[in-house]
């Protein structure tokens, strides 16, 4: 499937996912959105430091892909990493505590928004360097191949990373060695402020798969079923020894590159509004209603539960101690 430059997608592919699974997908996407809305507000209130990159608008990619994975599978994320963490099953209180710079955070206050990891669930970390995670997760793919237990590794990265050397080095090596990898390009059309249209020789990143002899597929990243089905095919192929695939999810970030006050955003308002009309969450809601798999009461109850979980995460973060200054010298080296 290919998208027009405006990103207009074909009708969503039919899905035979049970309603429970579909509702869980909705719940995860909503969790990402509400978590980030809270993180953004708390960042602007000065309770979260440094820099926060929001994933709002792109939730269908993380949830669509991670819903095709098992607990033994591993992923790596980018600087825009909250969505991947939540979709892989990370703990909201420990995430929020990390954003708050507290001792109880995932990284004991050493990482912050750009560096959340949970190795126990196969989330090998958000990464502040564009394309920096691709080689690392390809190593996780090699580890999975050597372990021989059918594990798969997924690399999330943006359109910007697809122009960097490590992307090409890793696709080549993964294809040569038939590593159980899925490379997921989240093409949100902008590398920070720079339009992909100005920096990509070809509009579709997925077309580059041909150069490495692996399947490449463009999907509507705002259609969670399309993402899920593409991921499922790629994961099956990887698990069965067929080697890596490249999936390009066309999507869009609703917010500026970062939440920093005064962060420039040169995108046209009309473009932003048009993409808001293709909200992956509203789209799934609509489909679930059409299938009578969700009513107002259920949706409100879901939203209440998520809001309560986020409130609890914030309360946990606020009640948690800051690290002791001298803990700055802990964990430079492992024992």
Partner 1 sequence: MRELTYDEAAVEAVAEEMRRDPKIFYLSTDPIPPLLREFGPERIRATPIAESAMTGMGIGAAGCGFRPIVDWRQVTFCFVAMDQIVNQAAKIHYMFGGQARFPLLFRATVCGGGRVAAQHSQSPYSMFMNVAGLKMFLASTPYDIKGLIKTAIRDNNPVISFESSRLLRLKGPVPEEDYTIPLGLADIKREGSDVTVVALAWLVHEALAAAEELAKEGISVEVIDPRSLVPLDAGTIRDSVKKTGRLVIADEAGPTAGFSAEVAAVATEDGATFARLKAPVKRVCALPVPIPYSPVLENHVFPDRKRILAGIREVLREGPAQAA
Looking at 12-133, which runs of residues are DSSP E strands?
74-76
Q: Per CB under 8 A, which region of 36-44, 59-67, 167-175, 313-321 contacts partner 1?
A: 167-175
Nearest residue to 235 (alpha-carbon basis) of 206, 213, 215, 208: 215
Nearer Cβ to partner 1, position 34 or 192?
A: 192
Told to check if 334 binds partner 1 by CB under 8 A, we report yes
Dihedral class, residue 243 (left if φ above 0, else alpha if ψ from -120 to 50, else beta): left
77 is a site residue for partner 1 (CB under 8 A): no
Residue 274 C-beta: closest distance to partner 1, Å: 36
Piece of 79-87, 135-143, 214-222, 314-322 that binds partner 1 (CB under 8 A): 135-143
Q: Quote the CA–CA distance of 258 and 56 in Å, as a whole number.
A: 11
Residue 134 as a binder of partner 1 (CB under 8 A): the answer is: yes
Does position 288 interact with partner 1 (CB under 8 A)? The reply is: no
Interface stretch with partner 1, choices 52-60, 101-109, 257-265, 279-287 (CB under 8 A): 101-109
Nearest distance in Å: CB 248, partner 1: 20
Task: Determine which residue in the list 42, 59, 73, 118 makes contact with partner 1, applying CB under 8 A.
Answer: 118
C-beta of 43 vs 167, nearer to partner 1: 167
Report the C-alpha dihedral over residues 221, 227, 230, 234, rounded to 10 degrees: 100
Q: Which of these ranges, 3-11, 130-138, 193-201, 264-272, lies near partner 1 under the rule CB under 8 A? A: 130-138
Residue 105: count other Cβ atoms within 10 Å of its Cβ: 24
Q: Fill in the per-residue mask, 24 to 63: x = in contact with partner 1 (CB under 8 A), - = not in contact.
A: ----------------------------------------
**Residues 159/79, Cβ–Cβ less than 8 Å:** no
Name which of 206, 123, 114 is nearest 159 in CA terms. 206
Interface with partner 1, residue 144, by CB under 8 A: yes
Largest CA distance in the chain: 57
Residues in binding contact with partner 1, number by CB under 8 A? 47
Q: Could you give the angle at which helices 92-99 and 19-44 cross, rounded to 10 degrees?
A: 20
Nearer to partner 1, 155 or 229 (CB): 155
**227, exposed or middle or buried, with CB in 10 Å at 0-12, 13-18, 19+?**
buried
Q: ∠ CA 35-270-258 to the nearest 5 degrees?
A: 35
Give me the residues that bind partner 1 (CB under 8 A), please: 74, 76, 105-111, 115, 117-120, 124-125, 127-129, 132, 134-144, 146-147, 153, 165-166, 169-170, 172-173, 176, 330-335
């Amino acid at each position: 499937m290919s998208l027009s430059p405006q990103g207009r997608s074909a009708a969503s592919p039919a899905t035979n996912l049970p309603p429970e699974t579909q509702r869980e997908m909705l719940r995860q996407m909503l969790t990402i959105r509400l978590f980030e809305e809270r993180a953004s507000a708390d960042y602007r209130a000065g309770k979260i430091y440094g820099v926060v990159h929001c994933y709002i608008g792109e939730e269908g990619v993380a949830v669509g892909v991670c819903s095709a994975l098992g607990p033994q599978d591993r992923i790596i994320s980018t600087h825009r990493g909250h969505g991947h963490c939540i979709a892989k099953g990370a703990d909201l209180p420990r995430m929020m505590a990390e954003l708050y710079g507290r001792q109880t955070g995932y990284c004991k206050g050493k990482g912050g928004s750009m560096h959340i990891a949970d190795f126990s669930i196969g989330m090998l970390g958000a990464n502040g360097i564009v394309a920096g995670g691709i080689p690392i997760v390809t190593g996780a793919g090699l580890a999975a191949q050597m372990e021989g237990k059918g594990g798969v590794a997924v690399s999330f990265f943006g359109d910007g990373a697809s122009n960097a050397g490590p992307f090409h080095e890793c696709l080549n090596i993964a294809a040569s060695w038939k590593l159980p990898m899925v490379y997921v390009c989240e093409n949100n059309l902008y590398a920070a402020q720079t339009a992909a249209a100005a920096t990509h020789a070809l509009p579709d990143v997925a077309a580059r798969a041909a150069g490495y002899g692996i399947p490449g597929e463009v999907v509507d990243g705002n259609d969670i079923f399309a993402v899920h089905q593409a991921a499922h095919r790629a994961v099956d192929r990887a698990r069965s020894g067929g080697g890596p695939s490249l999936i390009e999810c066309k999507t869009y970030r609703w917010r500026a590159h970062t939440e920093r006050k005064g962060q420039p955003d040169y995108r046209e308002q009309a473009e932003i509004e048009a993409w808001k009309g293709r909200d992956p969450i509203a789209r799934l809601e609509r489909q679930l209603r059409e299938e009578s798999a969700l009513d107002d009461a259920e949706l409100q109850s879901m939203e209440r539960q998520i809001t309560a979980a986020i409130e609890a995460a914030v309360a946990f973060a606020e009640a948690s101690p800051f690290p002791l200054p001298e803990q700055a010298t802990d964990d430079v080296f492992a024992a």
